[in-house]
Structure 1
Amino acid sequence: MMFINLYIEALEIIRKYYNIGTHYFSNTEIIPIDGVIKPGMKDAVIETDDNGQERINRMNYEIVTLQSLRDKLRCKEIWVIGADRYRNPDEDLPADFENRREEHYKALKKPLNSEEFITSIKQVMYESLTKLDSGMPKNPKVRLSTKNNKGWITVSTSDPQPEPVNLIKLKAEIMKQWPMTNLLDILKESDLRLSFTDRFKTIAAHERLDRATIQKRLILTLYGLGTNTGLKRISAGNHGENYKDLLYIPPLYKKI
């Protein structure tokens, strides 16, 4: 119950500073840290100013606190009264669970005795680890070595699997219907029909370029980034747009 109160206090602090644009919380505030902030994230939250005094970074604190709260809601260490997905975990059980416990356990194929259940899990883990321990040194695709005085496991790349028959047939049918048609042409044709590039709005105050130029640069940029071809390689094409022109597009049109 104690850590729930800590989260409530943390949320109250976050709400209090919601419309205040300060970088740090006031030194007079009592900010819940232990029990709310994970130990590994404290360095991101607690900073030291020029005077050597520890300060709580407000934005980082909000993010880390909400992430921690999300994790506890997901595993139901914390639940919300009246909620569905994040309800009290006791409500997840059928109302007649205690009366029909044996029937429910049988349906789940689990033993009624907890010790028996734990023992079976331990046995499975032991057998799996034993198999791993005995098989790994003999596996030709695995090499055990050391790196920086620590144990190191190197796994070779698996052989490529044969291409599915249906995929081969699908590619052949597409090639038959639209021979010599590349993805960029399809993207351009889709925009001519649907005008999806009109949905991209600039974050700038206004647009200086004409819409036709923006449309072309957006399509080239989407193609370059979406296919991992890269903007430099795309800019080498015979379309009249250079690398700097394309590089200018993503930051301005990152929202739809």
Structure 2
Amino acid sequence: MPENVPDGAPTLFVPTRWQGYLDEAAAKGDASAYRHYWVLCTLLALRDGLRSGDVYVPGSRRYDNPAACLFKPAQWEDHRFEFCRLVGKSPDFSETLPQVMDELDEALTDLEKVLGRGDGLVRLNDAGELVISPLTAEDIPSEAEELHTELERMLPNVPIASLLVEMDRHTGFLDCFTHAGGKQARSPQLKRNLIACLIGLSTNLGLHGMAASCGIPYDVLAWIAEWYIREETLREANIVLVNYHHKLPMTSAFGSGTLSSSDGQRFPTRGKSITARDLNKYFVQE
């Protein structure tokens, strides 16, 4: 091992496409090159770990421990019964566990039948490896299509600027965007400029594109964005909108608003990559 890298320093985290560089540097005895490649791969692994949540920084707003966002045991007790009611499960594990085991047995039995036929979406190839075919698009029932069309006719097509104006009329969320220097007189054009900035920053337009499309000078929008649109003002505006939404009569039909189903998304991809690998968080091999 080159002297610039500690003896026994791990290399299992090095991506396949970079491993050759380390091997070549080690074979030549080039300590400087080996150190540069090893440090680079370490930084890449650290970056990926921070992004995935496998590595976290206590106290960081963006890279804190993901578990810190979950309910604590005492908090979960206050929400457990509501969650079980929403998903139609018993809060008593002695009742739910046998049901889950039965569902698992039934699913495995169906899987065995599919694998036995050898011509389904899931099959075993000649090497005994599991092959899962891409899923086809789900057919939408004609009744759902008709309902979608009917609802679409009932909803008016309005410009996004008009929608934000109406939202502010109901909630006053634009008042949350205050000047960073303290209390300032608010001109009649301030809300118009705030709306233009919010649309530009939240779409592909950007402030330059927004200035060109709405006629407000770019320097005016840039000044508004610099002094009024900050993390704390955005947070306050979001709170106002969420609280207003929470009070709407229809909201109660979807629960108390304290729980969210945010996982289970599926993003199919095509093609193969020599750098692809199993996600260690879920597929760890001892």
Q: TM-score band (shorter)?
A: 0.3 to 0.5
Compute the TM-score of the two structures, normalised by the length of structure 2: 0.32
Higher helix share: 2
Between structure 1 and structure 2, the one with the greater Rg is 1
- Higher RCO (CA 8 Å, separation ≥ 6 residues): 2
Q: Which has the higher strand share?
A: 1
